[in-house]
Amino acid sequence: MTTVKRAKRSSDYPMLSIREAWLRVSSALEPLPPVRKPLVGAAGLVLAEDIIAKDSMPPFAAASMDGYAVISSDPSLEKSITGEQDAGVKLDLSVEPGTAVRIMTGAPLPTGADAVVPFEETGENEGVVHLKVIPKPGGNVRPVGLDMAAGETVLPKGLVLGPAEIGLLAALGQFQVWVHPRPRISIMSTGNELVAADETLRPGQIRDSNSLTLSVAAAACGFEVTAASCPVRDDSGKLELALVEALNNSDAVITSGGVSMGKLDLVKPLLAKLGEVLIGRVAMKPGRPFTFAMLQGKPVFGLPGFPVSSLVCFEQFVRPALRLMSGLNLLWRPCVEVSLAENLRHDPDRTEFQRAVVKADHDGFIAYSTGSQSSGRLKSLVGANALLILPIGTGDAPVGSRVKAFLIDQPETEEELPISH
Ligand code: AMP
Ligand code: MG
């Protein structure tokens, strides 16, 4: 007689609030250890050291306009021109009362001079310049150390290296910097029903869309992604092999599918066997079976298989976690108050993230639902730019009521999770 293995009816894992779940994720993770990188490869990464200027910039007082270098306290407005100073060289020129030196932008100021009068405010005739204005001390001169003084901390640890920061490092001659690397991520889809997206479907099969969706979502945040080329079957041995290989090749693993209560949902028990499961259920919709475990000191995010659930869990937990591992401080997208353009159904048993299009008008933000919010309906995320947050413990939300929403097409602006439940 064959025995039919039944799915378990209750979970061994406590139902955590979103806040508790995030606390567990964030306490288990820290920024990846710093690596030394050449400047060109450091753009967008987080600085892991304070940068102190070894020299002052500019290192010499320089003209900031083309004109004549003069002594500002010299009252004569007619001066004989004694030479010409170009940028890029330092001639042995000096300015005395009654004289001026023709000077180009960026050129070092001749000895004695303390101001530059631009060409536009002068007239020149037979080696004599006539000033039409009285020069001000320091006028049109970039003094030593205007950009930065020697010894000054010019870029603090924790800063994201953008164009200006990289430019400053190049100006200082610092071509290698200590930065936190971006985590390398492996993505694996699990499920017997799945075939690679380019294969022909047989009855009962569906295409694996999550691998690509999650890869694109991770790449959009700048993370380096390797996706398993084909979905892994719901088989403990195969899952273990794939997971161990993924762990060996990356700093974090994202799985999709196999974390619910069915008899072939084998990911949670496997994670419990190989490491420590810190989250097994979260009071959120979609995404209740979201799972988080630490294996060999690396995070594994077990996302539910339904396409909307996996992407919402990525947005809500994985993305901020990977940002934290990158050393970034700003983890959360802007969270704003919006007015509902229509009635929304909501069960009070979980916090729900409803997909919406938010538009700004003169009164603030208005949210339009993207229609049916089934977690299998990826179309509910197509074109959506916001996740409306309908808190646990509250019921249906009538038209005109105000709720909070994450603006998911905007860059992160918040350090702390803006959800208290
Ligand atoms: P699971 O979380 O494994 O119970 O999967 C729930 C449902 O999500 C499955 O029945 C599929 O319809 C769907 N699903 C699971 N994995 C994927 C995937 N990689 N791509 C698209 N749909 C998936
Ligand atoms: Mg499955």
User: Which amino acid is residue 157, in one-letter code?
Assistant: K
| Nearest residue (CA) to ligand 1, atom 16 | 305
Counting ligands in written order, which one lies closest to the CA of residue 188? 1
Q: Which residues contact residue 1 at a Cβ distance below 8 angstroms, ignoring those fewer than 6 apart?
A: none
| Nearest residue (CA) to ligand 1, atom 15 | 305
- In tens, the pLDDT along 318-334 reads 999 999 999 999 999 99
Mean pLDDT, the chain, whole residue set: 95
Residues in the chain: 421
Q: Is the dihedral of CA 343, 345, 349, 351 positive or negative?
A: negative
Residues with CB under 6 A from ligand 1: 189, 191, 194, 206, 208-210, 256-258, 260, 262, 304-307
**Nearest-5° Cα angle at 46, 411 to 39:** 115
The DSSP bridge partners found for residue 147 are none
Residue 39 has pLDDT above 50, yes or no: yes
Q: Distance between CA atoms of 337 and 335, rounded to whole angstroms? A: 7
Percent of residues, the chain, with pLDDT higher than 70: 98
User: Tell me, what's the pLDDT at 12?
Assistant: 87
User: Tell me, what's the pLDDT at 6?
Assistant: 67
293 touches 275 (CB < 8 A) = yes
- In tens, the pLDDT along 174-209 reads 999 999 999 999 999 999 999 998 899 999 999 999
Binned at pLDDT 50, 70 and 90, residue 363 comes out as confident
- Residue 283 CB neighbour total at 10 angstroms: 19
User: Which domains does the chain show, CATH number per domain?
Assistant: 10-32+181-325 (3.40.980.10), 35-55+160-180 (3.90.105.10), 62-142 (2.170.190.11), 335-407 (2.40.340.10)
| Residue that wins the pLDDT comparison between 11 and 120 | 120
* pTM score: 0.90
DSSP 193: T
Which residues lie near ion ligand 2 (Cβ < 5 Å)?
191, 257-258, 305
Average pLDDT over residues 60-84: 97
- In tens, the pLDDT along 257-289 reads 999 999 999 999 999 999 999 999 999 999 999
Supply the angle between the helices 236-248 and 267-274 in degrees, to the nearest 10. 60
The DSSP bridge partners found for residue 356 are 369, 386
**Per the omega criterion (within 30 degrees of 0), is the bond before 286 cis?**
yes
67 touches 122 (CB < 8 A) = yes
Average pLDDT over residues 44-69: 95
Query: Any idea which of 144-158, 163-177, 218-232, 401-415 has the lowest mean pLDDT?
Result: 218-232
User: Tell me, what's the pLDDT at 325?
Assistant: 98
Q: Distance between CA atoms of 297 and 382, rounded to whole angstroms? A: 35
Which H or E element spans position 25? helix 18-28
Which H or E element spans position 179? strand 176-180
- Residue 171 CB neighbour total at 10 angstroms: 15
Average pLDDT over residues 81-85: 97
- In tens, the pLDDT along 108-155 reads 999 999 999 999 999 999 999 999 999 999 999 999 999 889 999 999
């049916």: which residue's tokens? 372
User: Tell me, what's the pLDDT at 1?
Assistant: 47
Residue 213 has pLDDT above 90, yes or no: yes
Q: Which residues contact residue 412 at a Cβ distance below 8 angstroms, ignoring those fewer than 6 apart?
A: 323, 328, 330, 331, 332, 333
